[in-house]
Amino acid sequence: MAAARTSLGRVLPGSSILFLCDMQERFRHSIVYFPQIVSVAARMLRVARLLQVPALLTEQYPQGLGPTVPELGAEGLQPVSKTCFSMVPTLQRELDSRPQLQSVLLCGIEAQVCILHTTLDLLERGLQVHIVVDACSSRSMDPCPLFLGLAYSQVDRLTALARMRQSGAFLSTSEGLIMQLVRDAAHPKFREIQKIIKEPVPDSGLLGLFQGQNPLF
């Protein structure tokens, strides 16, 4: 009898969903690389719409933290208000209504709080989680003396990515996930998607996190 194979983390449009977490006005000036991560998340949403991948949007305490920023391009999505760090409790009914769901593509903030909590809850439900690493970030803070050259926020971001990977989540870039979703250059939407992936992707600070002998990866 063959041994069970480790999940390969394949992503298919018919069994995937895009989660967009808390990209709101009050975070605009406090999250490192905020415009860049919103731009990448918007890229993911454009592709999701082309490939008919459903998308869900949350807002953390919008009365105090404001609405979703317009540049995300989330018109037509009904934001779900939450106070829990995880997106899962407020989206429970949506998840339960999709028995074919296997993979969640996750973008947003903050990596060490809502993204991490959401990831752990989704993994506990038996779902595959794909973190869009160039569409996740953390707050801006002072330099950290333990990791020279990195702010505390980037240490939080880096450690959260490592923690989620340890727990079984997949780390990928937006382009990597987009190409998994489209699969074939013969896809009827490929030319439209090709235009999107040819657009310059903004630097969200990942090169600095992955350079050198990084003990967390």
Catalytic (active-site) positions: 22, 82, 114
Can you tell me the distance from the alpha carbon of 85 to that of 203, in angstroms, rounded to the nearest whole number?
27
All residues at 6 or more sequence positions from 152 whose CB lies less than 8 Å from its CB, including other chains: 141, 142, 143, 144
**Exposure b/e, 203-215, CB count within 10 A at least 16 = b:** ebbbeebeeeeee
Tell me which amino acid residue 170 is.
F
Q: Cis bond leading into 110, ω under 30°?
A: yes
Q: Indicate left, alpha or beta for 3 from its phi (over 0: left) and psi (-120 to 50: alpha).
A: beta
Q: Which two tokens stand for residue 37?
A: 């991560």
All residues at 6 or more sequence positions from 164 whose CB lies less than 8 Å from its CB, including other chains: 115, 116, 119, 120, 129, 131, 171
